[in-house]
Amino acid sequence: MSWFQRLREGLTRTRQVLAPATQQAEPAPVDQPRPLRRSLEELELALVAADVGTSATAEIMSSLERSHQPLQEALKEALMEQLEPDRMRASLRKLGFKPQVARTLVEPKGQVMMVVGVNGVGKTTTIAKLAHYYQQAGRRVLLAACDTFRAAAREQLALWAGRAEADMVSGEPGADPAALAFDAVQAARSRGRDLVIIDTAGRLHTKFNLMEEMKKVQRVIAKAQAGEPKEVWLVLDATTGQNGLAQARAFHEALQLTGVVVTKLDGTAKGGIVVSIVRELKLPIKFIGVGEGLEDLRPFDAAEFVEALLG
């Protein structure tokens, strides 16, 4: 099964939320007969139910009501406007939008990537998948097991690091995460590794002191290597919907995130959260995941996502 087929299958539950409304509705000005207006109102409710978000939904509906295209095409274009407005303005209206045939490498800035998220979102397995992705692209990756407080976190990362054939630095249970992050950056330099991925302790976004600890890890990394970490990515479980957006907002305020990885899209009817993240936080979606295998995490392509969602 191709990646697009897996993605489309993974988005089935979200598509089922939208499908009844998209099949019935057609764009209609305000002065058109009520059945047409009612159909668009049902689509609006479906978008909110899929966790697209109220602000994005309002803009999408406004776009649909102005459009003279068939609904499916108008809706695809409106979603793309939310997910990649610059790309739409630059070329998509002229060329039409299609998923990228040849994927470009999602090249991280700098050499240190700090990965954050609450417990249970799939952060550790996502880190291993990222290591696999970058090693397949020729990068020399070192993983740092800085989640030193969760039972078996080090063992879990070691297992996945083995599957991804990635090098790893770890410490004793209860060790200072920031000190371990410092050691990992130095170890990468001595071992000739060009990308360090820091697995931080899973944190509740509402706990002030725990967020302060993440800030400390960030500061210590900067001491180990000036200007790093240039990437701070949040792993977000799509099944959490709008609560996930609250998580993202809190982490972003504390750490200035540079990207988001969305996991478990295959287990949710709330795949529209992807739109909310981009619309509300102005953060790029870097990768999305629809399964447990190393190959089930791929770079996010907005046109591919929209096509899989509505096609």
Q: DSSP letters of 35-98?
A: HHHHHHHHHHHHHHHTT--HHHHHHHHHHHHH--S-HHHHHHHHHHHHH-HHHIIIIIHHH---
- Mean pLDDT across the stretch 292-306? 91
pLDDT at residue 95 is higher than 50: no
pLDDT at residue 100 is higher than 60: no
Q: What is the pTM of this model?
A: 0.89
Q: What per-residue confidence (pLDDT) applies to 33?
A: 47
Query: Degrees (nearest 5) of the Cα angle 53, 82, 97?
Result: 140
Residue 94: pLDDT band by 50, 70, 90 thresholds?
very low
Q: What per-residue confidence (pLDDT) applies to 153?
A: 79
Residues 141 and 64 in one domain: no
What digits encode the pLDDT tens for the residues 218-243?
A: 999 999 999 999 999 999 999 888 88
Residues 51 and 25 in one domain: yes
CA 54 to chain centre: 20
Domain-located, residue 298: yes
Domain-located, residue 101: no
Domain-located, residue 161: yes
Instruction: Tell me if 37 sits within 8 A of 30, measured CB to CB.
Output: yes
Q: What per-residue confidence (pLDDT) applies to 27?
A: 47
Closest CA to 253 of 116, 149, 150, 52: 116
Domains contained in the chain, number: 2
Q: What per-residue confidence (pLDDT) applies to 135?
A: 92
What digits encode the pLDDT tens for the residues 5-63?
A: 999 999 999 999 998 887 765 544 555 544 445 678 889 999 999 999 999 999 999 99
What digits encode the pLDDT tens for the residues 250-289?
A: 899 999 999 999 999 998 899 999 999 999 889 999 999 9
The CATH number that applies at residue 146 is 3.40.50.300
Residues 89 and 148 in one domain: no
Residues 221 and 272 in one domain: yes
Domain-located, residue 309: no
Domain-located, residue 44: yes
pLDDT at residue 299 is higher than 80: yes
Residue that is last in its domain, among 45, 70, 95: 95
Residues 203 and 244 in one domain: yes
Domain-located, residue 37: yes
Residues 85 and 117 in one domain: no
Closest CA to 309 of 278, 288, 291, 295: 288
Q: Is 36 exposed, middle or buried (0-12, 13-18, 19+ CB in 10 A)?
A: middle
Q: What per-residue confidence (pLDDT) applies to 246?
A: 87
Residues 157 and 288 in one domain: yes
Q: What per-residue confidence (pLDDT) applies to 35?
A: 45
Domain-located, residue 100: no
The CATH number that applies at residue 46 is 1.20.120.140
Residues 119 and 226 in one domain: yes
pLDDT at residue 103 is higher than 70: no
Instruction: Tell me if 67 sits within 8 A of 74, measured CB to CB.
Output: yes
Instruction: Tell me if 197 sits within 8 A of 131, measured CB to CB.
Output: yes
Q: What per-residue confidence (pLDDT) applies to 206?
A: 57
Residue that is last in its domain, among 66, 95, 124: 95
Residue that is last in its domain, among 95, 124, 159: 95
Token pair belonging to 161: 């690091």
Q: What per-residue confidence (pLDDT) applies to 31?
A: 54
Residues 228 and 286 in one domain: yes
Specify the amino acid at residue 76: K
Residues 73 and 129 in one domain: no
Residue 270's alpha-carbon distances to 23, 42, 234, 273, in angstroms, are 19, 17, 18, 6
**Domain range for 73:** 3-95
Residues 207 and 294 in one domain: yes
What digits encode the pLDDT tens for the residues 140-181?
A: 999 999 988 776 778 888 898 888 888 999 988 888 899 999
Residues 141 and 287 in one domain: yes
